Amino acid sequence: MIPVVSKLPQTGTTIFTIMSALANEVGAINLSQGFPDYDCSPELIELVNKAMKDGHNQYAPMAGVMSLREKIAEKTEKLYGAVYNPDTEITITAGGTQAIFTAISAVIHPNDEVIIFEPAFDCYAPAIKLMGGVVKSLALEPPNYRIAWDMVKRLINHKTKMIILNSPQNPTSTILHRQDIEELSAIVKNQDILILSDEVYEHLIYDGETHHSMARYPELQQRSFIVASFGKPFHATGWKVGYCMAPEHLMTEFRKIHQFLVFAVNTPIQYAIAEYLKNEDTYLGLRDFFQQKRDYFRKGLEQTRFELLPCYGSYFQSVRYSNITDEKDADFAIRMAKENGVASIPVSAFYTKGIDHHVLRFCFAKRQETLDKAVDRLLKV
């Protein structure tokens, strides 16, 4: 056997794969991995079929189908007042994760420092490390997981290249507020610091709160890669279609990497989504759709012994179980899947150092009957 020196020696199989496999093995209700158990729009399926029948089955342009980029630019300007050139500042990607990896690859060099806020989606740190960058993580604490900006200031130095933000956040379901934007703007002013803003859940934000996209703020927009996705909002995670927006000089570097990762993204699905976006209700109606699910699931969980943490966005609900057991969250999640038939995600998996606050994450992007069954089982925990 030829020896191989691992580039990610501390990295194993993702917790999402592990818990979904366990759910399948023991027949548990899978509230772990973030995907719905209901179908996407029949209209969208028909539009994909039409695009295929119309002959859109060869390589798309490297940057993406122009009609889709134009609809994204139109949507962004209407929602956030930001103007992006669809020709030079928007690129269609194979999902949000590819966009995040590409942005990091494009600008992070060995010894560059990148600030992330944990618990953090698990693709950030590995991508930074693969580029030789240094992860500077700031641990946030439940129940509110608010960013301590004074601590961020202490992390800033001449090596700081990027700050990664995620709002609404996975796994905590927290969001950035206006005060956060003011603090962030003050910190990066007159600094050569880039921002990577993961806004995959931009349309899943509740209780009348505002999504503070980096696109809203010119001083932040000019230094930001903004990543979004169609898989989550359109209930089609398996299609893996997302996009990145950035100023032209940043997008030029992004595309240099993108062309050698995937080159082009699924052609007929791009045409279908471009057509689907003509009806604004396809994305503007998502807030009410998912808030109803959130409210329904929370009402059920209130009857259990779990402590509900705030949920301002995304389609995840976190709970604390300290009054149930003192087990480690990973151990408890595994036992609960096996004994109670509900699979969750232990939130310690989102901390580089595995910090355990006895918090689990559930996905509520499920049919009502699925949520009912899950709650019935969780009542017995």
* Structural domains for the chain: 15-40+284-378 (3.90.1150.10), 42-282 (3.40.640.10)
In this predicted structure, the answer to whether residue 179 has a pLDDT above a threshold of 90 is: yes
Chain centre to alpha carbon of residue 70 = 23
Strands 359-363 and 345-346: antiparallel
CB 332 within 8 A of CB 316: no
How is residue 186 written in tokens?
């003050």
pLDDT at 362: 98
pLDDT in tens, 25-84: 999 999 999 999 999 999 999 999 999 999 999 999 999 999 999 999 999 999 999 999
Strands 160-166 and 113-118: parallel
pLDDT at 306: 98
Separation of alpha carbons 317 and 294, rounded Å? 8
What percent of the chain shows pLDDT beyond 90? 97
CB 124 within 8 A of CB 136: no
pLDDT at 13: 85
For the segment 112-123, the average pLDDT, to the nearest whole number, is 97
The helix or strand, by DSSP H or E, that contains position 313, with its residue range, turns out to be: none
CB 225 within 8 A of CB 209: no
pLDDT at 153: 97
pLDDT in tens, 317-356: 999 999 999 999 999 999 999 999 999 999 999 999 999 9
What pTM value is reported for the model?
0.96
Residue-averaged pLDDT of the chain: 97
